Structure 1
Amino acid sequence: MKGHVKERSPGKWAIVLDIYDAAGKRRRKWHTFETTSKRKAEEECARLITELKSGNYVEPTKQTVAQFLDEWIAFIKPSVAPKTLERYTELCRKNIVPLMGDVVLAKLKTDRIDAAFTKALRSGRSDGTGGLSPHTVHHMRRALIKALEQAVTWERLAKNPARATTPPKVERKRMTVYDAAQTGALLDALRPSRLFVPVLLAVMCGLRRGEIIALRWRNVELGDNLRQLSVVESAEQTDAGDVRYKEPKSGRARTIALSSTVITELKAHRARQAEEQLRLGIRPGPDSFVVAQIDGSALQPRSLTREWTKNKIIQRSALPRIRFHDLRHTHASQMLSSGVHPKIASERLGHSSIGITLDLYSHVMPGMQADAAERVDEAIQRALKPIG
């Protein structure tokens, strides 16, 4: 394999590679390289020859990053959830393409991507009001890494230039949760409201919004021997408003033990719900939703969020304003601060590993560590022989 460089115009070089097949027939591949230095052009020529010899050479193509991302989105459409596809599409077309979509894919380098991410942080908002949050840029980086991995698989790139980029520093916001007194006040205030049961399931069982929406009576055991509910699916709503039911976020079902208070409230709720639906001529059954419309039809996840945000009872109360998802955080924080083992808390919350639980709720741990230190100290003191 041979190659040479040829200056086409000031600052622009043609790198010509001579490739011979098994029959000795020569083919030529042309690359354009911009530099004012002939030496740098020769170095690039040598690099390409090395890639050819090692089998890492990638055919030059004029496909742009924007064109490739459109192709990638179409490729992954059958294999990802609709909500995931929406998110990838938004990140690619709204955030990534305006910053680097016109770059030829084969020429995309790590420094170009880093520069685009820096610009996104500084002035990436489409309305021109400033930069994107580090959290959004972090997701842009993850999406680009995933997309360019496919480019490597398809042999459009020799390596993934996004992997070596520097991720933005994402500062985790301190979560706001209710203490026990505030939780009790919340439940008392909401008892007459249809919002009471979904809030109860979030703050006393740690269920996610989608898990509450998807919960059916067949998955709830309120007898003397079994007092639990099983989380087997979750509701997901797309930007188009469609709702689908899928497996829980961790990818597996989980069982949550129910306290006496939750059992009592759910029994009363089931009786009220049955009376309500029977008056409409509807016979509730095992497939009925625990949290539903008056006619028994399923709620939409966003409807629950809107009801929580705009509920007049909560607005008139002195309680701090928190997100609906923070009710789940409330349950987790109260478990850990009460001395519940993190492994048990992780199982109730449906985390894929105990590490996620410890990472999310590390702010609760200092008090637990102090309590543990005192308990160990008391045990040692009892074991020590009296002095003298």
Structure 2
Amino acid sequence: MRGHIRKRGSTYSIVVDVGNDENGKRKQKWYSGYKTKKEAEKALDLLLAEIEKGEYVRPTNMTIGEFLDEWLEVYCKPKLAPKTYKSYSDTVRLYFKPILGHIELAKLKPITIQRYYNMLKEESKLSDTTINYHHRLLRQALKQAVKWQYISKNPCDAVDAPKKRNTEMKVWDIEDVKKAEEVLSNSPIFLHVMLAIYTGMREGEICGLKWEDISFKDGTCMVRRTAQRVNKKLIFKEPKTDTSIRIVALPQNIIELLKQEKKKQAENKILLGSAYDSSYEGYISVWEDGHFKEPDYVSKKFHKILAITPELPMIRFHDLRHTHASLMLASGVNMKVISERLGHSQIGITMDLYSHVSVDLQKDAIKKLETLLQ
């Protein structure tokens, strides 16, 4: 492939051979607007070097909106969980396309993206965490655009986004757990709360449990699906990572609660007969009549109960998972074991999340050491 320079009026242009079309005819691309011949020669050298290395990307008139539609359909839809896909598509539909969608993909500059983030903060009043999410999503999409050779570089790499602010982690202590067992013992989410505290499972994982996942003989539970409602449809799917599919050892009190629940469900089925809903037969998270007890209901009910129980600190249902990890750490359990119970893909995630607990434990250990040495 070759290229040359032509003078057009007071400026210079580059003409580059970029291969042949479907009929075998040579195709050329013009790049105009260079003020001096030296500037044009430098640009030509760079273009020819890209062509030689196979890094040259043919300019396209595709807009960012058109690309994002293709990215969602071709790349995201087959790979992502429905709930994650909805989050991606909603962000594209509500933010990216209305503001950036008309811009040609090849002409998107870092400064444009930076101004977009500034506008989200100043005009839309979005939090730094939300803007950081926009940045990660747009960067991921444009990374795929580079792989598909629509663009040669990812403009997001040259943009500084606000740092994500981690939600303050709130956990219960042992006394809170004992109080919760007393307060929630007759609530319809008692088993869900106890499973979260004593196993560290996620809300969707707890609701996705089936009786076939429980081994009363071994005292274990197999986590292999999660329940979630997306676009008004209840779905069950495998957890998002291989490490989320795991075996969790159960304490004796949870085994007893599960045995009681299984017996109760069998009795309800006989009692109600044809009125019993068998649509979700085999699932643990069901009402007395067999209807499914959904994750959204569990978390909302949990919040309502805490709102009228001042003696219990207000936390999210997900914080019960953090409570489990914190209590395990305080009991001297190895971080690797905790990571496996939580289903984290890397132990580093666990260590980052609970580093504050580790520091507190170190301080306690130092005090014990000082006492011993004295």
Shared fold (TM-score, shorter chain, > 0.5) = yes
Q: How does 1:127-146 map to 2 (within 5 A)?
A: 130=125, 132-146=126-140
- Give the C-alpha shift of residue 212 in structure 1: 0.7
Q: Could you say which residue in structure 2 is the equivalent of 1:180?
A: 174
Letter of the 2:48 partner, please give it.
Answer: L
Q: What is the SS of the residue equivalent to 1:84?
A: helix
- Give the C-alpha shift of residue 15 in structure 1: 4.0
Change (3 A) 1:14 1:198: farther
Q: How does 1:228-267 map to 2 (within 5 A)?
A: 228-238=220-230, 240-252=231-243, 253-267=245-259
- Give the C-alpha shift of residue 16 in structure 1: 4.5
**After TM superposition, which residue ranges in structure 1, 4 or more long, deviate above 3 angstroms?**
4-8, 13-16, 25-28, 30-33, 41-46, 371-379
Change (3 A) 1:355 1:135: same
Q: What is the SS of the residue equivalent to 2:325?
A: helix
Q: Distance in 2 between matches of 1:320 and 1:376?
A: 33
Q: TM-score, normalised by structure 1?
A: 0.83
Q: Work out the number of aligned pairs and report it.
A: 362
Letter of the 1:136 partner, please give it.
Answer: T
Letter of the 1:104 partner, please give it.
Answer: E
Q: Distance in 2 between matches of 1:110 and 1:369?
A: 44
- Answer yes or no: is the 8 Å Cα contact 1:14–1:30 preserved in 2: no
Q: Could you say which residue in structure 1 is the equivalent of 2:301?
A: 307
Letter of the 1:121 partner, please give it.
Answer: K
Note the residue ranges of structure 2 that are not aligned, 5 or more in a row. none
Measured against aligned partners, the alpha-carbon deviations of 1:245-291 in whole angstroms (never above 9, x if no partner) come to 2222432421111112222222222222222222112599x961122
Change (3 A) 1:276 1:100: same
Q: Which deviates the most, 97-106 or 195-204?
A: 97-106
Q: Could you say which residue in structure 2 is the equivalent of 1:273?
A: 265
Change (3 A) 1:164 1:18: closer
Change (3 A) 1:144 1:43: farther
Letter of the 2:139 partner, please give it.
Answer: I
Q: Distance in 1 between matches of 2:224 and 2:95?
A: 35
Letter of the 2:88 partner, please give it.
Answer: Y
Q: How does 1:75-224 map to 2 (within 5 A)?
A: 75-76=74-75, 77-123=77-123, 125=124, 130=125, 132-223=126-217
- Answer yes or no: is the 8 Å Cα contact 1:177–1:330 preserved in 2: yes
- Give the C-alpha shift of residue 20 in structure 1: 7.9
Letter of the 2:354 partner, please give it.
Answer: Y
Q: Could you say which residue in structure 1 is the equivalent of 2:43?
A: 47
Q: What is the SS of the residue equivalent to 1:19?
A: strand
Q: Could you say which residue in structure 1 is the equivalent of 2:5?
A: 3
Q: Distance in 2 between matches of 1:272 and 1:18?
A: 77
Q: What is the SS of the residue equivalent to 1:162?
A: helix
Aligned with 2:348 (options 332, 349, 355) = 355
- Answer yes or no: is the 8 Å Cα contact 1:337–1:368 preserved in 2: yes
- Give the C-alpha shift of residue 45 in structure 1: 7.1
Measured against aligned partners, the alpha-carbon deviations of 1:314-367 in whole angstroms (never above 9, x if no partner) come to 524432221111111111111112222111111111111221111111121122
> What RMSD over aligned residues (CA atoms) do the two structures have, in Å?
3.0
Q: Distance in 1 between matches of 2:9 and 2:310?
A: 76
Q: TM-score, normalised by structure 2?
A: 0.86
